[in-house]
Amino acid sequence: MAEIVRLDDLEDPRLRDYVDLRDVQLRLQLESDRGLFLAEGEKVVRRAIESGHQPRSFLMSPRWLEGLADLLDATDVPCFVLDDKSIERLTGFHVHRGALAALERPEPRPPRDVLAEARRVVVMEDLADHTNVGGAFRAAAALGFDAVLLSPRCADPLYRRAIKVSMGSVFWLPYARVDDWYAAPDLLREAGFTTYAMTLADDSVPIDEVSHDVDRLALIVGSEGHGLTPHWEKSADHRVTIPMAADIDSLNVASSVAVACWELRAR
């Protein structure tokens, strides 16, 4: 059973994992250095633990103790209890649904291992916005894709905001970060994947007109501002686009992933 620790001193060193959650760069460095990530909200905390991630501690206001009692009973890590206003001062923002958990960051998975188990993969190149990464994970998981590959500069799927937007899908959808990004097209090809690059290039084909009756398929999406790099556009087996109306040339990345995953889903 978790140790319930009621605190009123925000300088208590035991709370250090929860400080300044709105400072993105500080949190990214801190969480990487300490080997942790944070889950926010009752549902997301529950999904993190139920998917096998190991908690280091919990932080919540008193009214959430009962709702998470089953999780607290099953662990021996501390649960720090503060009132809502103190939690907001500590973290720097209003915590959604009153509960946080600090969890052990999992070891990175080798890309080849992730690809070996997959049939439909989303490949994200240099997505900088954690909200877009979380939304893309959620869309991929919901529409039957079973893995994600990330470029070295892609935003962290285990950052608090990405986790929240993904509704916890980052916990069960396998993913890997590819260090040698230039060689990633060859990695996919060697694993038997046919690649479909989302692009506004002149030779791109409407996504609903291209054949996707293939055993293994990888959907490649680029950064919010610049799209895919020329290397990925040229190396793809197919260059596809989503037909637009009303003089709008594109959707945001997460919406594009949702549309493309639906169109390219396994039948």
DSSP-H helix ranges across 198-252: 230-235
What beta strand segments (E) does 174-226 contain? 175-177, 194-198, 205-206, 217-221
Backbone angles phi, psi at 4, to 5 degrees: -80, 115
| 36-40 sheet: strands from edge to edge | 3-6, 78-81, 55-60, 99-104, 36-40
pLDDT at 225: 84
Rounded Cα distance between 114 and 104, Å, is 20
Token readout for 131 is 């909200």
Query: Any idea which of 69-73, 160-164, 245-249, 253-257 has the lowest mean pLDDT?
Result: 245-249
State the pTM of this model. 0.92
Element (DSSP H or E) covering residue 39: strand 36-40
Cβ atoms of 78 and 6 closer than 8 Å: no
DSSP conformational letter for 112: H
At 116-172, the pLDDT tens digits run 999 999 999 999 999 999 999 999 999 999 999 999 999 999 999 999 999 999 999
Secondary structure string (H, E, C) spanning 64-83: HCCCCHHHHHCCCCEEEECC
Q: Which domains does the chain have, with CATH numbers?
A: 3-104 (3.30.1330.30), 111-264 (3.40.1280.10)
At 46-57, the pLDDT tens digits run 999 999 999 999
Token readout for 209 is 């007109």
Cβ atoms of 178 and 111 closer than 8 Å: yes
Q: Is 218 exposed, middle or buried (0-12, 13-18, 19+ CB in 10 A)?
A: buried
pLDDT at 96: 67
